[in-house]
């Protein structure tokens, strides 16, 4: 078994909202295959992520990293902005 202790999950997603102070809402999409019909399906999840410098804008592609709880809803931090929205 591979040792994954200390490895934090990282996800890439799109910023949906930056209206909160130091917080952004990020939508992460993944594709899974349907167990019966063998068709690819898109699954989406929304995460509240901590953006300490308020740099993220709506539509930006960001890398978020799992962290200790920051508030009631925030368990993720924005690690880097991969691509700025046009």
Please tell me the pTM assigned to this model.
0.86
Percent of the chain with pLDDT over 90: 91
Can you give the residue range of the structural domain that contains 35? 10-83
**3 in a domain, yes or no?**
no
Q: What is the CATH number of the domain that holds 19?
A: 2.40.50.140
Task: Report the alpha-carbon distance of residue 36 to residue 85 in Å, rounded.
Answer: 37
**54 in a domain, yes or no?**
yes
Q: 22-58 pLDDT, tens per residue? A: 999 999 999 999 999 999 999 999 999 999 999 999 9
Strands (E), the chain: 10-17, 23-33, 40-50, 61-66, 76-83
**22 in a domain, yes or no?**
yes
**48 in a domain, yes or no?**
yes
Q: In the predicted model, is pLDDT for residue 4 greater than 90?
A: no
Report the number of distinct structural domains present in the chain.
1
For the chain, what is the mean pLDDT? 95
**4 in a domain, yes or no?**
no
């Amino acid at each position: 078994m591979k040792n994954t202790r200390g490895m934090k999950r990282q996800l890439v997603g799109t910023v949906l909202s930056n209206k909160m102070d130091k917080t952004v809402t990020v939508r992460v999409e993944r594709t899974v295959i349907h167990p019966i019909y063998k068709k690819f399906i898109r699954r989406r999840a929304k995460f509240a992520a901590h953006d300490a410098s308020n740099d993220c804008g709506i539509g930006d592609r960001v890398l978020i990293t799992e962290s200790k709880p920051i508030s009631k809803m925030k368990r993720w931090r924005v690690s880097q902005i991969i691509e700025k929205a046009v």
